[in-house]
A and B are shown apart, each in its own frame.
Chain A
Amino acid sequence: MRTNTVKLRIEGRNIERFINDSVKQGISLHNTCRVAPSNIMYINAITATIALKDFYPAVSIIKKHRLRMHIEKKKGFRFFLAKNKSRYVLIWGWLIILLALFLLSQRVWFVEVKGCYEIEQAEVYALLEEYGVFPGIVAKTELLKELPGKLRSADERIAWAGVRLIGVKLYVSIVEAELPPNTNFPTEPRNLYAKSDGVVVDIIATKGIPMVKKGAAVKKGDILISGDISTETVEAYVRAEGKVIGRVLYTFAYDAPPAIQKLVRSGESKTYTSATLFGITVKPKPYGEAEIESNEKRRLVNCFFPIIFETETAYELVMGEATPEAEELKQYALIHAEELMLASLSKECRIVSKKSETVLLENGGVRAIISVVVEESLIND
Chain B
Amino acid sequence: MRKYKPNKSIKGRRFTAFRRKFFEVLDLPEDCLGDVLRVTMISNSKVLIENYGIVYSYLDGCIEFQSQSFILKITGKHLEIRGITDERVMVYGEISQISVS
**In the complex, B54 has a CB within 8 A of chain A:** yes
Select one of A17, A28, A30, A34 contacting B59, CB under 8 A: A34
In the bound complex, what is the Cα–Cα distance between A23 and B86 (angstroms)?
5
Instruction: Give Cα A282 to B81, complex, Å.
Output: 73
A24 touches B58 (CB 8 A): no
Binary contact track A46-64/B, C-beta < 8 Å → 1, others 0: 1000000000000000000
* CB atoms of A33 and B80 under 8 A apart: yes
B79 to chain A, nearest CB (A): 8
Q: Does A130 contact B (CB under 8 A)?
A: no
B1 at the interface (CB under 8 A from A): yes
Identity of the chain B residue whose Cβ is nearest the Cβ of A25 in the assembled complex: B86
> Restricting to B46-101, which residues have a CB under 8 Å from any CB of A?
54-60, 78-86
A10 CB to nearest B CB, Å: 11
Q: How many angstroms from the CA of A32 to the CA of B82 in the assembled complex?
A: 6
Nearest residue, chain B, Cβ from A16: B55
Contact A32 B81 (CB under 8 A): yes
Chain B nearest CB from A261 CB (Å) reads: 91
Cα A19 to Cα B65 with chains together (Å) = 12
Assign chain A's interface to a size class: 10 to 19
> A31 on the interface (CB 8 Å rule)?
yes
Contact of A28 among B56, B79, B83 (CB under 8 A): B83
Given the complex of chains A and B, what is the CA–CA distance between A28 and B85 in angstroms? 6
- B57: which of A16, A31, A33 is its contact (CB, 8 Å)? A16
The chain B residue sitting closest to A15, CB to CB, is B58
Chain B residues lying within 8 Å of A44, measured Cβ to Cβ, are: 58
Whole-angstrom distance between the alpha carbons of A26 and B87 in the complex? Answer: 11
Interface residues of A in 4-51 (CB under 8 A from B): 15-17, 19-20, 23-24, 26, 28-34, 44, 46
Other A-B contacts than A29-B83, A31-B82, A33-B78, 19 sampled, CB-CB below 8 A, are A15-B58, A16-B54, A16-B55, A16-B56, A17-B2, A19-B55, A20-B55, A23-B84, A24-B86, A29-B81, A29-B84, A30-B82, A32-B80, A33-B79, A33-B81, A34-B58, A34-B60, A34-B79, A44-B58
Q: Which residues of B contact A (CB under 8 A)?
A: 1-2, 54-60, 78-86
Query: Top 6 closest A-B pairs, CB basis?
Result: A32-B81, A33-B80, A20-B54, A16-B55, A19-B55, A23-B86
A-B contact pairs, 20 of them (CB 8 A): A15-B58, A16-B56, A16-B57, A17-B2, A19-B81, A24-B86, A26-B86, A28-B84, A29-B83, A29-B84, A30-B82, A30-B83, A31-B80, A31-B82, A32-B80, A32-B82, A33-B80, A33-B81, A34-B59, A44-B58
